[in-house]
A and B are shown apart, each in its own frame.
Chain A
């Protein structure tokens, strides 16, 4: 099953590369704008040689992961608070409706005033746009814990805190992870767009700089890197999911 999937991914990738190379060679689009694969690879190699790619990559991934972890913890904490207090939940729902649709790009200019151009800026923006996935899924999942399980805890004379830690959170974790998976993608978007606008370092900044100085092969290479980053972050979330909710992964019968 997985072997077949991998083979298919490979075939598909080769197919795309082939089409790409053909289009580039045929000159339907000026090759200046549509460089061949070798040229793109050379651009990437050059950025690796002078060190700017890896430096930027470390910045971007570090920010995305740090922001995602913090946003997840805050999101879960808020979900627990909402579960304990319906009053808070109702009020926070209003805020969610208002804050959730704000695109990260809109926050960047003002946030630079408050947080400068360092890690704090990125963490703030990521948290602002990614807590919603873990939060909303957490609220729904905590509410959906079967009442029998909670009553079991009470019959065992567990305290409300013990019930939360030993019963409600484990039961809610699979759905919270679905929220985290979504948040991971959003987190990467937030980092790249912030780096593009803040303009000092990271993959987003590099992308803008290379494109403004018309380094076309490098621009394509960097876009490929941002896609790979998405895959890397998804793999990281998957690892966490396997570690913490392995039972659920098995129950759902996902391929290993």
Chain B
């Protein structure tokens, strides 16, 4: 029983640790500054801790502002397009097309309008985050459950009450999926814009490390991004499960 439980506890870490050991071994064999081992990366992470934190802060601040701008405008717009048949009919193919645009392709275009400053970067991020939120909100509010709208009518709810208290909760799971995609797109565009339009942010840090052949520092930066992404994703999933407990119960998940 105890060895089995120990194995179950070790399983999530065993493979990553084995790969880490393999990496350390290979790095020791090759012994080149272009191929640093995990120890060197850790050291670089400690050395650059405050710089990474600072640069990551700059990145995340823009991501947050851009994301909030996108969510604040696109959720209402998505609901509008989903609710007003004619508008939805007219714009759906356009939205479908925008969905195929790789978010980073926005960077050069917005640069033309808004330059390379903070405002420009926030605009790029907002634009990238807008598309998944718009699509998912639109798709979610387009669907109307015949059963629940019958129930709503039998309860004599007004149109507004129905929208707010029946349709919106039903649409939330899909909207939140869009939110998760939007955060990924925002982070991607943020890093891309920083690398291309070097000013500050974690992308600039990565670029500097590369230019100075600091591979260990670069890997430390990537690690920081990975951990941030993991933390953000976990946080969103937590919120989703908190807000949408009924949805997860229903699916028999969680």
Contact = CB atoms under 8 A, between A and B. Distances in A.
Q: Are chains A and B touching in the complex at the 8 Å CB cutoff?
A: yes
Nearest to B111: A211
B11 A223 contact: no
A54 interface: no
Which of the four size classes fits the interface of chain A?
Answer: 35 or more
Contacts of B103: 189
B93 A12 contact: yes
A193 to B, nearest CB: 4
Interface string B214-250: 0100110110011111101100000000000000000
Given A102-B226, A103-B187, A226-B101, A196 B192 contact: yes
A234 B86 CA distance: 27
B184 A103 contact: yes
B14 A223 contact: no
Contacts of B112: 33, 211, 214, 216, 219
A99 B202 CA distance: 17
Interface of B (DSSP majority class): helix
Interface in A91-114: 91-95, 97-110, 112-113
A228 to B, nearest CB: 8
Contact of B203 (A86, A106, A211): A106
B226 A98 contact: yes
Given A12-B93, A97-B230, A211-B112, A106 B100 contact: no
B20 to A, nearest CB: 11
Contacts of A212: 108
Contacts of B225: 101-103, 106
Nearest to B17: A91
Residue with the highest number of chain B CB atoms closer than 10 Å, among A102, A212, A214: A102
Interface of A (DSSP majority class): helix
Given A12-B91, A208-B108, A196 B12 contact: no
A91 B100 contact: no
Given A90-B11, A103-B188, A219-B112, A193 B209 contact: no
Given A88-B15, A90-B12, A94-B13, A188 B209 contact: no
A192 B230 contact: no
A189 B188 contact: yes
Interface in A47-105: 86-88, 90-95, 97-105
A102 B232 CA distance: 12
Interface in A223-244: 223, 226-227, 229-231, 234
Contacts of A108: 195
A101 B113 contact: no
A227 B97 contact: yes
A106 B233 contact: no
Given A196-B104, A197-B196, A211-B109, A107 B91 contact: no
A185 B90 CA distance: 24
Given A98-B226, A196-B107, A91 B195 contact: no
B12 A91 contact: yes
Contacts of A189: 102-104, 188
A173 B159 CA distance: 43
A166 interface: no
25 contacts: A12-B94, A15-B94, A90-B11, A90-B12, A93-B12, A94-B13, A94-B16, A95-B15, A99-B226, A101-B184, A101-B226, A101-B230, A101-B232, A102-B225, A106-B191, A109-B195, A109-B207, A110-B210, A110-B218, A113-B34, A189-B104, A192-B104, A223-B105, A226-B100, A231-B97
Top 5 A-B residue pairs of the complex, sorted by shortest distance between their CB atoms: A91-B15, A101-B229, A230-B100, A211-B108, A109-B210
